[in-house]
Amino acid sequence: IALLPLRNTVLFPGVVLPITVGRDKSIKAVNDAYKGDKLIGVVAQKDSSVEDPAIKDLENVGTVAKIVKQIKMPDGGTTIIIQGKSRFAIESIVGEDPYFKARIRKLEEDEVPKDGDFEAYVANIKDLATEIIQLSPNLPTEASIILRNIENPSFLIHFVSSNLNTDIREKQKLLQLDNIRERADLLMQLLQKELQFAELKNKVTTKTRTELDKQQ
């Protein structure tokens, strides 16, 4: 499969994302994939500042994506709408020119555990994510409605992971975990951290506003 390295994004299965493609290599990879089966292997770069990544700069685990739509921009760039399909690991690189091509191995998803313990995890993830949405003025309130309506636990974890306001390395860790219970556990820890930060930010904002009101 052709590889599409992304700088600041980790794509999760099921998640739909718009991506702006600017690099010549990436545009060629996207064009060829779009003409063919519309599938492309999306991998995150280890360091987003690297302009022209080599193989060593790419993560080994990524997500096969379907290119749902390709939009040519007036400035010559390309925007694509992609949807994550399944996780994969790179087995070997079979071509580097005009873009990276890899032989990949599909990573199977765990069966969703049916016990009460895991259900509690899922409910907790929904609650934490909803609280964060309510505390974040830049997030649309519809997001919590979407969240409430997600019934598939596996997709819920991917969707929330994708929208986490966290370091790219943490998102990559989430993608690489094969065990869905471990993934849910790590996600919960990251959400708790994010919630604390959102609460702190709100406190500071409110305090500043109160001070300004007093001064006025």
What string of DSSP letters covers 166-190? S-HHHHHHHHH---HHHHHHHHHHH
Q: Which backbone phi and psi does 117 adopt, to 5 degrees?
A: -60, -45
pLDDT confidence of 42, banded at 50, 70, 90?
very high
**How many C-beta neighbours within 10 Å does residue 157 have?**
26
Amino acid at 160: V
Sign of dihedral through CA atoms 43, 98, 18, 112? negative
Which are the contacts of 44, defined by CB distance < 8 A and separation ≥ 6? Answer: 5, 6, 7, 9, 10, 58, 59, 62, 168, 171, 172
pLDDT of residue 142: 80
Q: What residues contact 47, with CB distance under 8 A and at least 6 apart?
A: 57
Residue 141 has pLDDT above 90, yes or no: no
Closest to 189 in 3D by CA, of 211, 204, 167:
167
114 band by pLDDT with thresholds 50, 70 and 90: confident
Percent of the chain with pLDDT over 90: 60
Question: 83 with 46: CB under 8 angstroms?
Answer: no
CB 9 within 8 A of CB 17: yes
* Type of residue at 108: E
Alpha-helical (H) ranges within the chain are 24-35, 116-135, 142-148, 153-162, 168-176, 180-215
As a whole number of angstroms, the distance between CA 75 and CA 49 comes to 22
Q: pTM to 2 decimals?
A: 0.88
Q: Give yes or no for residue 139 having a pLDDT over 80.
A: no
Close Cβ partners of 116 (under 8 Å, ≥ 6 residues apart): none
